[in-house]
Amino acid sequence: MAPSVADLEQKVQTGVTPNIADLKAAVQAVVSAGIPGPNLSAEILPPLSYPHLAPIEGENKISPPLQPFEHVDAASRADPKLPRLLNDKTKTHHLSPYLGTEISGVQISQLSKQGLDELSLYTAQRKVLIFRDQDFADLPPERQIEIVGHYGPLHEHPTAPQLEGFDNFIASLRQKGKKAYRAEYNVEDNLSYTLWHSDVSYERQPPATTFFWLLDQPEVGGDTLFLSQVEAYNRLSPEFRKRLETLRAIHSGVEQAEGSRKAGGVVRREGITTEHPVVRVHPVTGEKALFVNKGFTRSIVGFKKEESDALLNFLYDHIAKGADFQVRATYQKGTVVIWDNRIVAHSAVPDYGKEQRRHFLRLTPQGEVPIPASA
Ligand SMILES: [Fe+2]
């Protein structure tokens, strides 16, 4: 008897049937048998490219609170001419005058410590780097940790899925039948999937030079949007900027923790609220950047609710409409995207079909306590 479609999907998702030719023959057998079903070819996913990097499911652990530390930015040690990163073998392509550069001809895995320092400085300057043709995804996790750990203690996310044995990786597998899949496609109450944010900005020392790479990607879509919070700040009038520089805002991880709990996910650390300056200064470049985001900023300290909502909503509208200081990072096999989380906001673009799969990893070094522009 031919296997059912559900049997086949189960086998594919668990990686029990790695032979594609067998799989296609089995699907054909189902079709030939006249068993009704939706678009079979679109419903069947091949095995994961990196099955050993699938996230842990059903984890339930408590982690200790993050500890304060003194952050020394790797970019502060870099040779400003960036000779190890940008040389005659390196090709660069800028996506916008304000942010975003595609780089090829250099392997992150081959950079010395000085080269990694330069990478940090260039990330701060260009805000988002899109490295092509990297062997990074094939490095052992320990080596990936060693490279990204160069930039600061690696953050353990309070709610995101992890890799077995590695607390600091975010490992996300979005495909039909997985938990993240439902949340990803929930647009019942919203017109768009876009949610501009700075990762875990509620932490006392939010992340800095963040590494993100895909292991499996949809045929089309699944890009990431980035915007320059430096340019967003620069567009405001001098008088308005002056006022913003005196303000502080509350960022909250409470809703994220509650959301995870409600969805049956893990809460490793309870959500915290933290006060940060509305305008922060990059510790190395000295650039000023807006540091509010719709994802985690909740209120302006000292303002009444209507005042706070009006100001924050104005700023959120301003950055969302700024297509002239936004870029779109696309992914190919071997792409690693690195951003300076202190001075950009980003949004996932989960526009790909429900039958598609997206599997990614992220390592997230923490940075300094945000430096206020008013200091
Ligand atoms: Fe994010």
Using one digit for the tens of pLDDT, what is the confidence trace for 330-375?
999 999 999 999 999 999 998 888 788 999 999 999 999 999 998 6
Q: How many CA atoms lie within 13 A of 77 on its CB side?
A: 13
- The pLDDT score that the predictor gives to residue 210 is 98
Same domain, residue pair 221 and 339: yes
pLDDT tens digits, one per residue of 162-185: 999 999 999 999 887 776 554 555
Residues with CB under 5 A from ligand 1 (ion): 199
Active site residue 346: yes
Same domain, residue pair 27 and 94: no
Ligand 1 centre to CA of 61 (Å) is: 22
CA 141 to CA 361: how far, in whole Å? 10
Same domain, residue pair 243 and 303: yes
The catalytic position among 73, 199, 216, 340 is 199
The catalytic position among 84, 342, 346, 357 is 346
Same domain, residue pair 318 and 181: yes
- φ, ψ of residue 339 to 5 degrees: the values are -135, 155
- φ, ψ of residue 39 to 5 degrees: the values are -45, 95
Same domain, residue pair 259 and 140: yes
Active site residue 197: yes
Ligand 1 centre to CA of 199 (Å) is: 5
Active site residue 52: no
Ligand 1 centre to CA of 225 (Å) is: 10
Same domain, residue pair 132 and 251: yes
- The pLDDT score that the predictor gives to residue 186 is 56
The sign of the CA dihedral 189, 191, 193, 199 is negative
pLDDT tens digits, one per residue of 22-47: 444 443 433 333 333 333 344 578 89
pLDDT tens digits, one per residue of 261-306: 998 889 999 999 999 999 999 999 999 999 999 999 999 999 999 9
CA 332 to CA 133: how far, in whole Å? 8
Global pTM reads 0.87
Among 21-30, 106-115, 128-137, 183-192, the range scoring the smallest mean pLDDT is 21-30
For a pLDDT cut of 70, what percent of the chain falls above it?
Answer: 85
Ligand 1 centre to CA of 31 (Å) is: 41
CA 141 to CA 171: how far, in whole Å? 12
Residue 157: is its pLDDT beyond 80? yes
Ligand 1 centre to CA of 198 (Å) is: 6
Ligand 1 centre to CA of 210 (Å) is: 10
Query: Which residues span the domain enclosing 323?
Result: 51-372
Q: Which residue has the tokens 């597998």?
A: 173
Same domain, residue pair 155 and 250: yes
Same domain, residue pair 257 and 335: yes
Same domain, residue pair 189 and 318: yes
Of 323, 294, 322, 320, nearest to 309 by C-alpha is 294
- The pLDDT score that the predictor gives to residue 146 is 98
Active site residue 199: yes
pLDDT tens digits, one per residue of 183-233: 555 556 778 889 999 999 999 999 999 999 999 999 999 999 999 999 999
pLDDT tens digits, one per residue of 248-259: 999 999 999 999
Per DSSP bridges, beta strands 279-281 and 371-372 are: antiparallel
- The pLDDT score that the predictor gives to residue 188 is 64
Residue 83 in tokens: 């000779």
